[in-house]
Amino acid sequence: MEKQVEIPDILTACSGRRIENSQDWERFRRPELLNLFTGCIYGYCPFPVPWAVSYERIGVIRQGSWGRREQLVLHLPGFSFPLALYLPEGRGPFKVVVYLRLTNERETVIPLDRILQRGYAVLLLWVEDVAPDVPDTFEKGIFKSLSGKRGRKDCGAMGAWSYALSRVMDYIEQDERLLAAKSVLAGFSRGGKCALWTAAADQRFALCAAFHSGCTGAGLSRWGSKNKETVKEITQKFPYWFCEAYGAYGEKEEYLPVDQHMLLALIAPRFLYLAGSLEDPWANPESELESAWLASEAYALYGLWGLKLPKEPKEGKLYKEGRIGCYIHKGVHEMTEMEWELLLDFADEKFLFQ
């Protein structure tokens, strides 16, 4: 495994200034990196942020001995979208998992029963209810609430999903049965990419979990690997996910002012969980480990461990001693129940003293 070009340094600002403490990180470097990711990759959000999200419950269905399902509708200026809330037995308040459900995923693609049995509420947001995962998404969903031509640096579908996830957090903060301080934002594949971007920009999520997020997720764009997805491939196949400016960096990753270890660093000092499979080179799990290791520099500014690994990490083992948990195992590009079990183990341990 070889790096194609030099990886940019997290702690050196564009001015050349060296960041040496968490105060300077929060004041200078963090806003700078957020602006770079926004302008070069994920795009600026054109949707209005409401003073408060209003919502209504339109149905309650008892699912089984573990709890019940509530159907919600969240109302924003000029747009509304449905949301499914699953509640475990008891009065709460409950820790909560927010999951971004992809186009071809069933509502039960995640182990709902097991998550609820472990005392977590679950909120499911389906991408199709916000911005369909299709090239003409700009004519549908939340984009229909806008008028005018999309700019080169305006967000694509991923930015729209991220915006909706932040509005879900607005709802969580209003529901006394849910604990925003013990919230897990999770996503798989492109959903994992979106979860990382959302958690980087919205510091209210306590833990971000990205399953097999790969290129433009946790994986380094500048990291070489056979059969690895590249910036050129992802922007040619899914140009509507990102801002148009991102496509210019295809096969020119060395000119990107950021790389994905910087995205992970923006989650510091909060918790991060990454899961990947060794037989999934397209998502480049080795690159995700390197990215997490490099991101640990930001955690060190707070006097915290990020990713803590032995010299020779073993496959199939969860490394959770620091604020970044990693689980790389044999398998293909799909979530497993074990990945979820270890995520909940990680979350339970980290939330214990919060």
Q: Please spell the DSSP secondary structure of 95-154, one letter per residue.
A: EEEEEEE-TT--TTSS-HHHHHHTTEEEEEEEGGGTS-SSGGGGGSGGGGG--SPPPTTB
CB 8 within 8 A of CB 257: yes
Q: Is the pLDDT of residue 336 over 90?
A: no
In this predicted structure, what is the pLDDT of residue 216?
95
Closest Cα partner for 202 from 174, 172, 231?
172
Which position has the higher pLDDT, 326 or 4?
326
Q: How confident is the model over 68-111, as pLDDT tens digits?
A: 999 999 999 999 999 999 999 988 899 999 999 998 888 778 99
In this predicted structure, what is the pLDDT of residue 115?
95
Burial classification of residue 354, based on how many CB atoms lie within 10 Å of its CB (0-12 exposed, 13-18 middle, 19 or more buried): exposed
Torsional class of 22: left (φ above 0), alpha (ψ -120 to 50), beta (otherwise):
alpha
Q: How confident is the model over 192-229, as pLDDT tens digits?
A: 999 999 999 999 999 999 999 989 999 999 986 667 88
In this predicted structure, what is the pLDDT of residue 105?
84
| Other Cβ atoms within 10 Å of 174 Cβ, number | 13
Burial classification of residue 8, based on how many CB atoms lie within 10 Å of its CB (0-12 exposed, 13-18 middle, 19 or more buried): middle
- pLDDT averaged over every residue in the chain: 92
What average pLDDT does this structure show over 295-299?
A: 97
CB 209 within 8 A of CB 280: no
In this predicted structure, what is the pLDDT of residue 279?
77
The neighbouring-strand residues paired with 30 are none
Q: How far is CA 147 from CA 100, 137, 142, 151, 235, in A?
A: 26, 14, 11, 12, 25
Strands (E), 245-289: 271-277
In this predicted structure, what is the pLDDT of residue 3?
42
How long is the chain? 354
Task: Compute the distance between CA of residue 350 and CA of residue 338 in angstroms, rounded to an integer.
Answer: 18
- Of 99-108, 227-236, 299-308, the range with the highest mean pLDDT is 299-308
CB 161 within 8 A of CB 240: no
In this predicted structure, what is the pLDDT of residue 300?
98
Helix (H) or strand (E) holding 74: strand 67-76
